[in-house]
Amino acid sequence: MIGQLTRNERQGALLILIALAILGLAMAAVGRDDPLGGQGALVMVAALAGLFGVISRYYAPEPGPDRVSRYYDEPSKVGIIIAMGWVVFGLFIGDWVAWLLVDPNLTFHAAWSSFGRIRPVHTTSVIFGFGGNALIATSFYVMQRTSRARLPDQLSPLFVLFGYNLFCVLAVAGYMMGITQSKEYAEPEWYADIWLVVVWITYFVIYLRTLARRKEKHIYVANWYYLAFILVVAVLHIVNNLAVPVSFGHARSYSLFSGVQDAMTEWWYGHNAVAFFLTSGFLGMLYYYLPKVAGRPIFSYRMSIINFWGITFFYMWAGSHHLHYTALPQWVQTLGMTFSLMLLVPSWASAGNALLTLNGAWHKVRDDATLRFMMVAAVFYGLATFEGSFMAIRPVNSLSHYTDWTIGHVHAGALGWVAMITFGSIYASVPWLWKRDGMFSPRLVEVHFWLAVAGTVIYVMAMWNSGIVQGLMWRTYNDSGTLAYSFVDSVVAMHPYYIARAIGGLMFLLGSLVGCYNIWLTIRTAPQVAGRTASEFPDAAPIGAPVLQPGE
């Protein structure tokens, strides 16, 4: 990939990496007796590794002038590979967390492996490591095809990709050291937050520059969703992480918000992270890859635009439904509940639009596991959004809140919607990017699909049952008016459900390992089809070719 950079671009990469190495050295020196020092050493090692990679290819031949006539797909290739690495790591940690709830002694008496430290490692790895890299990779891919314009330069996409993953590594390492901002989503340290702002603004500028250079007059709806994801996540991240560090030599900081204002800000961030990171971005995937693989136009393009504005507006007001029966003013709770119910309309319309797109292509769903991943994702998206609106109703929330029902709901969305559409998009992209006629083994795609579906169903069903049992036990009174069950009684009752949850998670992990193996074999060993040129593969037409895609 370095070989595709010009000499000037390689010099720019060297300057960035040298500055990053100096920054890491300064952090290590200033924070010698603080976790900041360890984080600085990590930054320095990453920068030195990057410097070695650039220097080793510094005198490679200059790329030919024909590079600008082809789409710049190397960042998408690397992003997909990194995403698959993160998902295996994150699911392994997640299943470990699940088994910890079955047997708490599985920490092996090490502080870094306690539940409170590795639980955010799991969430960050799968949401931001896996999901974030998949979004970056597919957004670069989709944006170029739908705009018929190449990325504006070679260096900034690589900076976004590797800078973003440095943030993820810093966050995961910080959690294991026990340093976070102590919020619901366990946000990383203040200096990692600042670094992510730099990376994310660069990402936003790349997107705008590419759209400005487009040869296609129309901005396809997938780009609307991707752009909303990039812009709103930047706003959410900046506002929620406003904090004052204890000192520049200390990793800890204090939030600018406190009390109920801090809770409201956190859940404004938390629920809109679900809205724009875990929904909007992945709807961008859905609206490109599902019509493309199905070979059918979107059922209603107009509906997709209406859904976009409905989701964008309604989601912004829904976060307070996480704070029912708290010190938050009741009118704010009611506002959040009302908008959560209204949100069901554009959400279900999006799911229905996706499923109706498959009319005339159901035989492909039967025969192609890649398309089946996407179909199941649309079903789970509809299921999870209905459940979310239902759980936002205050009387329902009184039963579900603080129980495993919420965990089941989250994983119905995370495993059934986000992971399924991502795996489907990756399975579609890999043969196109590496110029293969298909995945190395369609049978392994089938195996992955059924392991993922079975694991998701077992996991979600276990948590639905355990959550409702928990809620009922916590509110059951005896004849004397006291609680019939202690909290310990409810923990004991959860044990069989936690075993089932861990087994479901293990099945999902095994499916991801199968997927990694299949992708590796596709990249390494699957032959190109004899007699076909690169331009004959899907999505490989030269830049500027006026070839409309299905659904455009």
* Concatenated DSSP letters of 116-180: HHHHHHHHIIIIIIIIIHHHHHHHHHHHHHHHT---S-SHHHHHHHHHHHHHHHHHHHHHHHT-S
Q: How many CB atoms sit inside 10 A of residue 258's CB?
A: 9
pLDDT band at 190 (very low <50, low <70, confident <90, very high): confident
Give the mean model confidence (pLDDT) for residues 529-542.
47
- DSSP alpha helix (H) spans, 187-300: 190-212, 221-240, 259-275, 281-294
Residue 64: pLDDT band by 50, 70, 90 thresholds? Answer: confident
Q: Which residue type occupies 216?
A: E
pLDDT at 500 over 50: yes
Point out the least confidently predicted range of 9-18, 52-61, 178-187, 310-319: 178-187
Global pTM value: 0.93
Buried b / exposed e over 97-118, threshold 16 CB at 10 Å, is bbbbbbeeeebeeeeebeeebb
Q: Could you tell me which residues come within 8 angstroms of residue 269 by beta carbon, excluding any fewer than 6 positions away?
A: 185, 236, 237, 239, 240, 319
Tell me how far apart the alpha carbons of residues 422 and 511 are, in angstroms, rounded to a whole number.
Answer: 13
* Residue linked to tokens 């919020």: 183
| Of 75-79, 214-218, 240-244, 401-405, the least confident | 240-244
User: What is the rounded average pLDDT of the residues 311-319?
Assistant: 92
Strand partners, 460: none
What are the tens digits of pLDDT across the range 73-99?
999 999 999 999 999 999 999 999 999
d(CA 278, CA 295): 26
Residues 400-452: pLDDT tens digits?
999 999 999 999 999 999 999 999 999 999 999 999 989 999 999 999 999 99
Task: Assign 3-class secondary structure to 80-131.
Answer: HHHHHHHHHHHHHHHHHHHHHHHCHHHHCCCHHHCHHHHHHHHHHHHHHHHH
Give the pLDDT band (50/70/90) at residue 532: very low
Measured in degrees and rounded to the nearest 5, phi and psi for residue 477 equal -115, 150
* Neighbouring C-beta atoms of residue 14, cutoff 10 Å: 15
- The CA distances from residue 97 to 100, 122, 215, 306, 436, in Å, are 5, 8, 49, 40, 38
User: 177 and 120 in contact (C-beta within 8 Å)?
Assistant: no
DSSP state of 536: G
Q: How far apart are CA 283 and CA 347, in angstroms?
A: 10
Determine the pLDDT at residue 530.
Answer: 46
Alpha-carbon distance of 350 to 369, in angstroms, equals 22
Cβ atoms of residues 373 and 306 within 8 Å: no
Question: Per 3-state DSSP, what percentage of the chain is helix, strand, and coil (rounded to 5)?
Answer: 75, 0, 25
Give the model confidence (pLDDT) of 253-266 as tens digits: 888 888 899 889 98
The yes-or-no verdict on residue 385 having pLDDT over 70 is yes
Band (pLDDT 50/70/90 cuts) for residue 531 is: very low
Q: What is the pLDDT of residue 539?
A: 54
How far is 405 from 464, CA to CA, in rounded Å? 5
Q: Which helix (H) or strand (E) holds 491?
A: helix 487-493
Q: How large is the average pLDDT for residues 357-373? A: 95
Question: Looking at residue 518, what is its pLDDT?
Answer: 97
Residue 131 has pLDDT above 50, yes or no: yes
Instruction: Look at 549 and 13; give whichever has higher pLDDT.
Output: 13
Overall average pLDDT of the 248-252 stretch:
80
How far apart CA 233 and CA 374 sit, in angstroms, is 24
Among 169-173, 250-254, 483-487, 504-508, the minimum mean pLDDT is found in 250-254
Structure tokens at 140: 């670069």
Give the Cβ contact number of residue 231 at 10 Å: 16
Q: Is the pLDDT of residue 66 over 80?
A: no
Q: What is the pLDDT of residue 186?
A: 55
* 482 vs 31, more confident: 482
Tokens of 250: 């200390």
Label residue 527 by pLDDT band (50, 70, 90): low
Residue 528 has what pLDDT?
Answer: 58
pLDDT at 352: 96
Is residue 4 scored above 80 in pLDDT?
no
pLDDT interval class at 184 (50, 70, 90): low
Supply 382's token pair.
């509809």
Residue 27's pLDDT band (boundaries 50, 70, 90)?
confident
Residue 535 has pLDDT above 50, yes or no: no
